[in-house]
Amino acid sequence: MSKAAVFGSFVVDLMARSPRLPVPGETVKGSVFKMGPGGKGFNQGVAAHKAGADVTMISKVGRDSFGEVAFNTMRELQMDTSHMFVTDDTETGCALILVDEKTSQNEIIIVPGACSTITEEEVKNIEAVLKEAEYVLLQLEVNQEANELVAELACKHGCKVIVNTAPYAPVTDEFLSKAYMVTPNEVEAEEITGVPVKDLESAKKAAAYFYDRGVKEVLITLGSRGVFVSSGGREEIIPCFKVEAVDTTGAGDAFNGGLLAALSEGRDIWEAARFASGLAALSVQKMGTTLSMPVREEIDRFLEEHKNS
């Protein structure tokens, strides 16, 4: 198994479920409140770690009680905390997540806080991690200058950059040219490429946009319709596993963490996408984000039970 790294956000998720989402100006009584670790980067790092990857989590928090949530979670999971930067200048970020308990639809406001202040010096401090890793997984929730520096350093050392383009933010062609693989969801794929991704044909057109910019492999997640995978001239939609979804917040993170874990085990992209879909299918059956990520035994059992689907 090769080493992997996740460079990205940590925030504390404040999640409330209610019978429906409020319209502007309205107050709705909720049924459940949960507070826990989150942020796309952290969710993906934890998903990969629990799936068995040898992954280094890199993020930044403030010196405050929300920051402690990251450290406590990592200690409980026996993850290495030595590449978590801490600042006195900015508070740890948070995300306000509203979930409709009937449809499982969500609305999120994220205030990234400390993890959007990652400095050039801090990125230089992780050069050794990138040098050793075969893959580094990025998202767009931290300050983009830091992502650009990480991508540059990773390329210098032959570490393959996977960019999960979430949440949508404009990215330069220069940045995309450093990505070995991109994993937008269908909405982000349309926002970046201008191609509405509705079916296999339109997904192929969106993939072509990324190929034109130097990306080598393209996966577009399609929610409950599965994932479009484009690699080595083969382009297919792999359907997702049929499960009863309770909360799909973080499904994309579960998928990306699973993908990273499987790729760093040496699986090919098709097997990795199936493994990632299984991990995501397990996570949507539980409430929450980081805390809904399954352990390796659960994933293996689930895939074995669903080997004919």
| Inter-residue contact 12 to 43 (CB < 8 Å) | no
Binding partner at 108 among ligand RIB, ligand ATP, none, C-beta below 5 to 8 Å by kind: ligand RIB
Convert residues 149-188 into a mask of x (bound to ligand ATP by CB under 6 A) and - (unbound). -----------------x------------------x---
Convert residues 8-27 into a mask of x (bound to ligand RIB by CB under 6 A) and - (unbound). ---x-x--------------
Q: Which is nearer to ligand ATP, 208 or 237 (CB)?
A: 237
| Inter-residue contact 82 to 125 (CB < 8 Å) | no
97 binds ligand ATP (CB under 6 A): no
Binding partner at 277 among ligand RIB, ligand ATP, none, C-beta below 5 to 8 Å by kind: ligand ATP
Q: What is the number of other CB atoms lying within 10 angstroms of the CB of residue 242? A: 10
Give the tokens for residue 198. Answer: 């509705």
| Inter-residue contact 293 to 283 (CB < 8 Å) | yes
Cα atoms found within 13 Å of the Cα of residue 186, Cβ hemisphere only? 16
Binding partner at 226 among ligand ATP, ligand RIB, none, C-beta below 5 to 8 Å by kind: ligand ATP
Site for ligand RIB in 198-257 (CB under 6 A): 249-250, 252-253
DSSP state letters, 16-67: EEESSPPPTT-----SEEEEEEE-HHHHHHHHHHHTT-EEEEEEEEESSHHH
Q: Which is nearer to ligand RIB, 231 or 256 (CB)?
A: 256
Catalytic site includes residue 88: no
Q: What is the number of other CB atoms lying within 10 angstroms of the CB of residue 174? A: 12
Q: Is the dihedral of CA 248, 249, 252, 255 positive or negative?
A: negative
Catalytic residue among 13, 54, 247, 253: 253
Catalytic residue list: 253
Residues found near ligand ATP in the complex (CB under 6 A): 166, 185, 221-224, 226-227, 240-241, 243, 245, 248-253, 255, 277, 280-281, 284
